[in-house]
Amino acid sequence: GLCDAPNYPYMNRRYLTTPIYYATGDPHLGHAYTTVLADTLARYYRQTGAEVRFLTGTDEHGQKMQETAAKRDMTPIELADQMAESFEAAWKDLNISFDRFIRTSEPEHIGVVSTVLERLWAKGQIYDDVYSGWYCVQEERYWTEREVGAEHLCPDCKRPVEFVEEKNYFFRMSDYQERLIQHIEDHPEWIVPGTRRNEILGFLKQPLQDLSISRPKSRLAWGVTLPFDPDHVCYVWVDALINYVTASGLLDPDSGPDQPGFADQGNSWWPASLHIMGKDIITTHAVYWPTLLMAADLPLPKQILAHGWWIMEDEKMAKSVGNVVDPLALREDYGTDGVRWYLLRDMPTGADASYTPERFHARYDELANVLGNLASRAISMIVKYRDGIIPEAAGDGLEADIASTLSAVTGHMDALRVHDAMATSMDLARTANGYVDRREPWSQAKDPSGAEDLDETLASLARVIAVLTALFLPVTPQKMTDLAGRLGLKSVPTLDQARSISLGGLRVEKGAPLFPRVDR
Ligand code: MSP
């Protein structure tokens, strides 16, 4: 089938994507969550030896862009340039390891959008008709009479919708309803979590409408011109979704609709292994996108992960609500890795979570008091009792805990339960602190016959810390690189290396607290 491109080496090449962010406002904690989640998975896959391509970027066309730019006395491209820079800088500050930052205003992307549209047109998948109905500029989408109700408000953002009557081009989305349902049923893990999968299957119980894919230039000039009608631009969501194909290198932006698409399967990153996004945009990704791909005869993404919302006082954190938290400001107090840890540890992947400064602080304390404390006491004792040299001893005092943690964490990560992986990793640090308390190395040090026991305690602690650097690397990469260095390692071990690493003879180094106390 479409999903099973020949010999696609699924496990060893991973192509991960975030949504491309609207270039109408600055990044906030909600955007940061999607991006940090994707980054953590990207780093995890790299650690398991996979070749990874990690894509993010900005969504720069559409009516909202046009209007926001006009309000600020800017041209849309000036606004887009400014915002793309702001997102890219924010992601660098949050240590996001993206390989490609795509902008929908790039010529390469515009070429690929044209190619896809031409192909759909040539295959009779697009027709024109008159559309009349309700349009929400904020959400960039049409709503039915029933959906907007008597008040004519957008069901999503509650703003007044506009009545429009215009020529539109439509994609024959309805033709693909059965195939899409079949695909979802045949691939139970295609949409995770299961609640979102059920939501999409529920949505597909109603007859699927055809999708309007154009806007008349008289109303909206800022977009990709339709290759078959110069008076219309492509609907921003269709334009935006295609970014995933553009950045994969699958299609040549300069050639026509006949290019095979499968031709360079070997070099291209398509199909994506995983599209990561918030639950608010699951329908576009799990319905519009796969049906467009089916119609264009292109393979479907392997998996879609929809996460929950950050909520503040019962409301979604959003620019339009005016309650956004700036992740970059939190970095000043808690550091990049503190922000990353909070986001991933506090939100169960897939569910909603409520942001509060108290919870943020409590999560940070966990990093400082459990992981940071373990590292600092173990390293101090190696310095104090063994002149800073890790003893040559078996160091297998926590072997069973390490083995069970590694397999549990791998299982959680592979099932995309990132918060469970984090919690389980932190539990190992807790167990190791308990081990210190139980072994009482300070008593072993006083007892001349306790030298071997003390060697074993210290070697076991060094080993568990090396394992923890591997476990925490995806979420707190800077701090773990720092910690591995303090253990005398050149770099953080991979999970596989961590299983059997030997540290005897390495020289440790004390340093400033990994996670300094934050007063509040
Ligand atoms: N431009 C579209 C995506 C096109 S992808 C082909 C878009 N952009 S967005 O900037 O509005 O949002 C992007 C991401 O940020 C989504 O994954 C969305 O869920 C996430 N978040 C925005 N606010 C959020 C919260 N309050 N909480 C969690 N994630 C949130 O949609």
| 44-89 pLDDT, tens digit each | 999 999 999 999 999 999 999 999 999 999 999 999 999 999 999 9
| Residue that wins the pLDDT comparison between 53 and 142 | 53
- The residue whose CA is least distant from atom 25 of ligand 1 is 30
CA of 278 to the centre of ligand 1 (A): 6
CA of 281 to the centre of ligand 1 (A): 7
CA of 484 to the centre of ligand 1 (A): 35
| Residue that wins the pLDDT comparison between 491 and 499 | 491
The per-residue pLDDT of the chain, averaged, comes to 93
Angle at 298 between CA 289 and CA 268, to 5 degrees: 105
pLDDT of residue 4: 42
Which atom in ligand 1 lies closest to the alpha carbon of residue 279? Answer: 19
Residue type present at position 33: Y
- The residue whose CA is least distant from atom 6 of ligand 1 is 241
Measured from the CB, is residue 102 less than 6 Å from ligand 1?
A: no
CA of 33 to the centre of ligand 1 (A): 9
What is the residue whose two structure tokens read 């602690």? 461
Question: Residue 3: pLDDT band by 50, 70, 90 thresholds?
Answer: very low
pTM: 0.93
Task: Give the model confidence (pLDDT) of 270-296 as tens digits.
Answer: 999 999 999 999 999 999 999 999 999
Asked whether residue 6 carries a pLDDT value surpassing 50, the answer given is: no
Return the bridge partners of 311, or none: 316, 354
Residue 349, SS3?
A: coil
439, 438, 428, 511: which is closest to 463 by C-alpha?
428
Question: Residue 266: pLDDT band by 50, 70, 90 thresholds?
Answer: low
Angle at 56 between CA 196 and CA 234, to 5 degrees: 80
CA of 141 to the centre of ligand 1 (A): 15
Q: What is the rounded CA–CA span in Å between residue 293 and residue 487? A: 49
326 in Cβ contact with 289 (< 8 Å): no
Asked whether residue 468 carries a pLDDT value surpassing 80, the answer given is: yes
Range in 245-249, 356-360, 430-434 with the lowest mean pLDDT: 356-360
- The residue whose CA is least distant from atom 13 of ligand 1 is 21
Asked whether residue 5 carries a pLDDT value surpassing 70, the answer given is: no
Q: What is the rounded CA–CA span in Å between residue 228 and residue 423? A: 53
- The residue whose CA is least distant from atom 23 of ligand 1 is 30
- ω into 348 cis (within 30 of 0): no
- And the tokens for 110? 């515009």
Pocket test for ligand 1, best of 137, 281, 344 (most atoms within 8 A of CB): 281
Residue 454, SS3?
A: helix
Asked whether residue 304 carries a pLDDT value surpassing 60, the answer given is: yes
Residue 189 CB coordination number (10 Å): 12
The mean pLDDT of 256-272, rounded to a whole number, is: 70
pLDDT of residue 206: 95
Measured from the CB, is residue 309 less than 6 Å from ligand 1?
A: yes
CA of 88 to the centre of ligand 1 (A): 16
Residue 243, SS3?
A: helix
Residue 483, SS3?
A: helix
Q: What is the rounded CA–CA span in Å between residue 378 and residue 399? A: 17
335 in Cβ contact with 494 (< 8 Å): no
Return the bridge partners of 128, or none: 169
Residue 407 CB coordination number (10 Å): 11
CA of 78 to the centre of ligand 1 (A): 22
Q: What is the rounded CA–CA span in Å between residue 140 and residue 62? A: 7
Angle at 35 between CA 421 and CA 288, to 5 degrees: 105
Task: Give the model confidence (pLDDT) of 476-486 as tens digits.
Answer: 999 999 999 99
What is the residue whose two structure tokens read 């608010």? 280
Measured from the CB, is residue 20 less than 6 Å from ligand 1?
A: yes
The share of the chain scoring above pLDDT 90, in percent, equals: 82
Asked whether residue 264 carries a pLDDT value surpassing 60, the answer given is: no
